[in-house]
Amino acid sequence: MALAVTVLSLAAMGLQYSLVETRMMAAQTKLLSADLDGFAALYDQRRIIALRQAIDYRATAATGDEMLLLLDRNGSVLAGTQQAWPAGLSTEGDGFAVEPAREFRAGSSRWLAVARELPGGFPLLVARSLQPVDDTLAAMRRGMWGLLAAMLVAGGLVGWLAARSVMRRIGRVNDLADRVAEGALNARLPGVRSPDEFGLLETHVHAMLDRIQNLNLATHRLSDTIAHELRTPLNRMLQKLGRIEGQEALTADLKAEMRQAIRMFDSLLDISRAEADQGTGGGLTPVELSTVATEVWELYEPVAEEKGLVCTATIAPVLSVLGDRNLIAQMLANLLDNAIKYCSKGDELALTLTEDGDRHLMRVADTGPGLPEAIRGEAFERFVRAERDRGVKGHGLGLALVRAIAARHGARLTMPETKRGFVLEIHWPRLQQSG
Amino acid sequence: MQDRILIVEDDAETAATVRAVVEEVGCTADHCDTLDAGIAAATSNPYRVIVLDRMLPGGDGVEAMARIRAGGSTALILVLSALGRAANRVEGLEKGADDYLPKPFEAEELRARLRALLRRGTMQVLDNDLLAFGNLEIRLKARTLHVRRAHVAVSPKEFELLTYFAQNAGQVVTRMQLLENVWNLHFDPGTNVVDVHVGRLRRKLEEAGSQAIQTARGEGYIFAPFGPAG
């Protein structure tokens, strides 16, 4: 903006400059022409003699801004303001017309000169100094540069002030967004809104945050209500089951069914909770991933060994993440439980945890039946189960929960192709060490 | 005098079950069905244990724990709630509950936990290095197990499991209790992973000549080093 104004002003000044230059040059040419007309009239009357007298007379009152010189045919000075013919200047034509005129340099100034050889071989020089023109133009140029600099400074200053005010107000909104992203859903901007677009933006952002906060609260309240309304009647049923005698096998079956149903609802609620909390750092604390992995592995390893699996764990020590220990344990338990469930005697099961660049790589690999190609793309969706696993106990929420917990921690899941079995890699963002 | 246990529970049927269990473990039960009545009772009577619900008329029992403690109660608090997901349980324990049992619960589970809490109040601090149960000796500092003076090699986790059993000798401990106290995990893993660990430890003890770990049918396990009678 400031630049455009500057360029426009510069163009206007440039136009004015060239106009002034043309006008001043025209004025000098006119003066020269008037001089020449005078000399022509004298020459008409008495030729060289009159010219010589006139030039002599003019030379005594020389002001320095004109140059007159008349030579004889041998090149000696007859009359003039100069001692010698200027070097490099040759005569052209023989009349007193102002054209052709020529510019030349003598000393530090420019001159506009008419050099003729009058009949009989008398060179005549009539020239006017262009110094006044050059002085005026130089003054104009200085003025223009000054003005340009002033405009640039002023433009920059105005721009900086405007930008600073805009940036400060955008910065306020950005700070708010940062605080919300860190989990403070109740953060709001203090003070009154200004009656402009920024005020409107803040009002919109606040309205959006209110809505997010309400939805989040409703999600949490709903999961509490579902839990309460589901578990209270189940609890009464369980108490009544306890009073039935003589049908142990049946009651044990019913209890197992209830436990499965509760596990399924818990998984669903855990998934939606983890998804609702995704991206907020709230509630996460530094957790030593290596320790959790070791603990959960030690819990499941004997189970896998009993089933005849070949187990190996390679867990690098002291790798930490920002996380929820309980969720991480639940996730790993799900993966190991799945692997043990689907593998058969002789299959291999391996857990590795290593440092991998700026991430920690957790890898659970087995040589079991793996995922059927048909559900590979949607294995992490809720309630997706392979047709062949209908007979295996489960509800198809295990991997969905794994994905939700990974997302809650900002961890990335990859499923590398393997010849045999199932491999899942979890890339955990490493804990930023502070101090 | 019998120990007193306070039940703060708004569901009558649940309250009746809890009362029955309380009487089974040899205590007298008081019952309140709102949070405010519960807090008033808890701060004016010397209860050993408070069985506290969460979603009560008047508020959340977990949020009220601080008020109960501030009122001078030294009772141990067992939260018994339908908010039973792992996250809820961890939250309750972090806010100061001594135990957290999700609904639906089995009477046996509550009984085992109430017994563990009642014992916790009377148990002498385990400052002595040696826990001896007849011919079975556990050295806590050296982390060794001897049966009939012969060393039995156990893994670190098996040793922790054994120590937890020993601390609750003669009482039924449930699988859920083991998972929470030995593995510090508060979710239901679906399969009974704990059984495999107990089975291994049990086999090692049996090979060395001790029948200390017994199955309590439908309930869990019991560490009875002096025979089934405890």
B103 contacts A234? CB cut-off 8 A: yes
Look over chain B and give the mean of its residue pLDDT values, rounded to a whole number. Answer: 89
Average pLDDT, chain A: 86
Indicate the pTM of the whole model. Answer: 0.70
Q: How far is CA B6 from CA A149, B52, B53, B174, in A?
A: 86, 8, 11, 23
Q: What is the pLDDT of residue A84?
A: 82
Q: Taking residues A80-96, report their average pLDDT.
A: 82
Span A25-48, average pLDDT: 88
Percentage of residues in chain A having pLDDT higher than 70: 96
Q: Which one is predicted more confidently, A387 or B106?
A: B106
Cβ neighbours for A120, distance < 8 A, ≥ 6 positions apart:
A48, A73
**Which of the two residues, A357 and B80, has the higher pLDDT score?**
B80
In angstroms, how far is CA A212 from the centroid of its own chain?
28
Q: pLDDT at residue B5 above 90?
A: yes
Q: Is A238 on the interface with B (CB under 8 A)?
A: yes
Using the Cβ of B61 and the Cβ atoms of chain A, whether some distance falls under 8 Å is answered with no
- Interface contacts A/B by beta carbons within 8 Å: 105
A300 in contact with B, Cβ within 8 Å = yes
Interface membership of B107 toward A (CB under 8 Å): yes
Q: Does B225 touch chain A (CB under 8 A)?
A: no
CB contact under 8 A, B197 and A258: no
Residue B76: pLDDT band (50, 70, 90) is very high
Percent of chain B predicted with pLDDT > 70:
95
- Binned at pLDDT 50, 70 and 90, residue A357 comes out as confident
Compute the distance between CA of residue A191 and CA of residue A168 in angstroms, rounded to an integer: 15
What pLDDT shows up at residue B123? 62
* Binary contact (B85, A227; C-beta < 8 A): yes
Match 């324990």 to its residue by tokens.
Answer: B93
> Stretch A340-350: mean pLDDT, rounded?
91
B34: burial class by Cβ within 10 Å (0-12, 13-18, 19+)?
middle
pLDDT tens digits, one per residue of B91-136: 999 999 999 999 999 888 999 999 999 988 666 555 678 888 888 8
Q: Per the CB < 8 Å rule, is B193 touching A224? A: no
Buried b (16+ CB within 10 A) or exposed e, A322-336: bbbbbbbbbbbbbbb
Interface contact A245, partner B, CB < 8 A: no
Residue A246: the pLDDT is: 85
Alpha-carbon distance of A280 to A183, in angstroms, equals: 4
Judge whether A394 and A408 are in contact, CB under 8 Å: no
Chain A residues whose beta carbon lies within 8 Å of the beta carbon of residue B83: 224, 227-228
Q: Which of A303, A335, A341, A408 to mutate to test the interface with B (most CBs of B within 10 A)?
A: A303
- Domains belonging to chain B, first-starting first, are 3-122 (3.40.50.2300), 130-223 (1.10.10.10)
Contact status of A257 with chain B (Cβ, < 8 Å): no
Q: How many residues does chain A have?
A: 435
Q: How far apart are CA B64 and CA B73, in angstroms?
A: 12
Contact check, Cβ <8 Å, A236/B14: yes
pLDDT for B229 equals 43
Strands B59-60 and B55-56, by their bridges, are: antiparallel
Q: How confident is the model at residue B54 (pLDDT cuts 50, 70, 90)?
A: very high
